[in-house]
Structure 1
Amino acid sequence: MNLVKTPRDSEPDDVLETSMATVASALSEPSRVSILCALMDGRAWTATELSVVAGIAASTASGHLNRLLSNGLIICLTQGRHRYYSLAGHHIAGLLENLMGVSMGTPKAPVSSTPVCLRYARTCYDHLAGELAVSIYEFMLHENWLAADGSELTLAGKRHVEKMGVVLNSRTRRKFCCPCLDWSERRFHLGGDAGSALFTLFLQKEWVTRTQGYREVNVTDSGRVAIYRLFKLKIT
C-alpha cells in the first residue's frame, strides 16, 4: 500500500524548509555576513560601529540589522539612549563557524587573506579559536583530559583544569564540553561551557589580551610561560 501525503501532512516539512531558506537568504548578503563576523567576538556593537566594519552607510546598516533581527540571528540590547547588537547565542556562533569551514573547503573559494595573527589566535564567540586553541585541544586529547570524541572532560581533565583555576559550571544549559570545528585549521578546538571557562581564565590571568573591535587575541609574555607550563606549547 502506498501512502500519499496530504497537504496537512507535509505542512510541518514545508514550514521547516521555508524557514531554513529564509535564514539562508539572510546570510546571503556580504554586508550582513560582515556584520555577523564582527559580532563573533562575543561583544555588543552599535549600529554605527557595525556600519563602519561593513563599509556601508548607517541607513543601509539599519536595514541589514532589521533583517538579521527578524530572522533571530542577532538581538538588540537597549541601554539608556544607546542600542547595542550581539549574536543571538552560542548556536548562531556555531552556525557561522561551520559556515566558514564549509566556505574555506569550497574548491573555487579564493585564497584567504586572513592575517596570520588572526589565524593563530582569535575568539570564536566566547572561547578561543585558531592554531593555538587547536593545539591545546590536541594536547588535552593526548593527555586523556578529554573523551576521545571531545564530548566531555575526563575525571583527570576536570582535576587538571580546576587546578589551573578554571571555574566549571555543572548546571549550564548549553553543552558543557564539545569539539568545535576550527574554520582556518580544519581541526577541532574546545567549545561549550568548558571552552568558555578556559578562555575566561586566560583573560583573568592576563595570559592573553583582546584587540578592541576585532577577534584577534594576543598572547602575553606571562601567557607564553603559562601555556608552555600547562600545555607544553612553545610560543615564539
Structure 2
Amino acid sequence: MYPSTSYRKYWPKYKDGNPVWNFFHFDNFRSFYPKCNECGSSISRGYGKPNTTNMARHLECRHPILHEELLELRKMAWNPPPSPVTIVTEDVIDIKDSESENEKHEDEFFDATDDYVDANESIDGNKAADETGDQISTALQIYKTPTAVEFSGNKDTNMCNIPPSITPHSLHSNTQQGSQETNSTKPNVSMSKEELEKRLLIAQIEREEAAKRREEAATRNLEASTAAIHSRLTN
C-alpha cells in the first residue's frame, strides 16, 4: 500500500535528486516502469504521482549490498532544513558591566553634588552662613566677658540672668533704637546692665539662627546628593 500524498512533504529532500536512480533506469522515455540495473526487474511506481518507495524496497529485499550503498548515498545527499536564525540585538545588558557601573557610582557618591546641586544656591548659602558666622564671632568678641565691664554705681562679677519678660521682637526693636543713638561698634562702658543683657541675648539668637540655616543647607545638599545617586543607579 502506497503512502498518502499528504505525507510527501515530510519525505527527505536531496540536493541532486533521489540517489535511488543510480540503481534503476528506463528502457525508453515512454516506459512507465523503471528497471533494476542489477537484475533487470521492472518495478511498479504506483499510480498518480509515482514514488520511489518500491524501488528502494526492491534493493532492500533483492540486493542488500546495493541497499547499503543507497543508504550511504542518501546520507551524503540529504539536504537538511536550514537551522533557525538567532537574532542578536544590541540591547543585551552585560551583568558585569552593570555591576561595575553601580560600583563606580557608589564610589563617586561625594562627587555627585557637583553635577546636580545648583552652584549659585550652594555658594550663596555658604557665603551667607560665613557672613553670619563672622558677625556672631565679632559680637562674641565684644561681649564675651561681661564681668570685665564695670557698671556705673555697681560692680558685679557674676553672670547676668536674662529676664523672662524680654521677647526677640522687643530685643530687635531696642537694638535698632540703640544703633540709631550711637554709631560705635564697641560697647559703652556706662551702658546699663539691662542693655548689655539684651545685646548678649540678640547675639545668642543670631548664633542659633545661623546654625539653623547651616543645618538646612547641609540637609538640602545631602538630599540632592541622594537624589543624584538614586537617579544614576536607576538609569
TM class, shorter-chain normalised?
A: under 0.3
More helix, by proportion: 2
Instruction: Give TM-score, length-normalised by structure 1.
Output: 0.19
Instruction: Give TM-score, length-normalised by structure 2.
Output: 0.19
